């Protein structure tokens, strides 16, 4: 099957229109605020535009965008951690920002607080509807590892939320 590249502005605009809501929603779940989610979403689409990626089909586009968005958010969160290390003895340290209102259910909040490798597989499976084999392919992990991570994540969620996860 021939790969199609986004060669014209119209091609890119159609690509963007097809996927921006999905990428924004995914970024918002990681970043937990609109401004950072918008920044990450923009960065993902700029990467596509600059590098002129070629995709097999719309499914290939979506899978690539999923991984690119997750990686972009993780990179941004890591850079925040490095920048926001402030000594408690520093009188000039900025006041922490007030927490923003979050529109998460208790389950979604628990999922977002999982360790990254577990959060990724749970998110992709339950929220995005990918199979464990597809997740394994996307993340470059063996399918058995993904299934084990799903089991571990479910057990953690069960302990945090209480009750039977089924």
pLDDT computed for residue 3 by the predictor: 61
CATH 1.10.10.10 spans which residues of the chain? 104-166
The CATH number of domain 104-166 is 2.60.40.420? no
**Under DSSP, is residue 54 helix (H, G, I), strand (E, B) or coil?**
strand
As separate numbers, helices (DSSP H) first and strands (DSSP E) second, the chain gives 7, 2
Q: With contact defined as beta carbons under 8 Å apart, do 157 and 151 qualify?
A: no
CA–CA separation, 127 and 124 (whole Å): 6
Question: Alpha-carbon distance 110 to 126, whole Å?
Answer: 13
- Whole-prediction pTM: 0.63
Architecture label for domain 1-84? Orthogonal Bundle (1.10)
pLDDT tens digits for range 2-43 = 466 667 788 888 889 999 999 999 999 888 889 999 999 999
Tell me what the mean pLDDT of segment 76-98 comes to.
55
Higher pLDDT, 13 or 89: 13
What's the pLDDT at 138?
A: 84
Phi, psi of 114 (to 5 degrees): -70, 155
Q: How far apart are the first and last CA of the chain?
A: 40
Q: What is the pLDDT of residues 95-137, one digit of tens each?
A: 444 344 444 578 888 888 888 889 889 888 888 888 889 888 8
Residue with tokens 């392919």: 137
Range(s) of the chain covered by CATH 1.10.1740.10 = 1-84
SS3 5: strand
């Amino acid at each position: 099957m021939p790969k199609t590249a986004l060669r014209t502005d119209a091609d890119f605009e159609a690509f963007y229109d097809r996927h921006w809501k999905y990428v924004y929603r995914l970024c918002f779940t990681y970043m937990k605020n609109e401004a950072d989610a918008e920044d990450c979403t923009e960065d993902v689409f700029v990467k596509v535009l600059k590098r002129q990626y070629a995709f097999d089909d719309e499914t290939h586009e979506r899978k690539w965008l999923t991984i690119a968005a997750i990686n972009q958010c993780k990179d941004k969160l890591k850079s925040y951690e490095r920048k926001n290390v402030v000594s408690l003895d520093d009188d000039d340290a900025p006041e922490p920002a007030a927490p923003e209102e979050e529109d998460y259910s208790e389950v979604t909040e628990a999922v977002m607080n999982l360790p990254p490798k577990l959060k990724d597989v749970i998110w992709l499976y339950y929220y995005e509807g990918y199979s464990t084999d597809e997740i394994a392919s996307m993340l470059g992990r063996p399918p058995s590892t993904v299934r084990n991570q799903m089991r571990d994540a479910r057990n953690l969620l069960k302990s945090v939320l209480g009750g039977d996860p089924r």
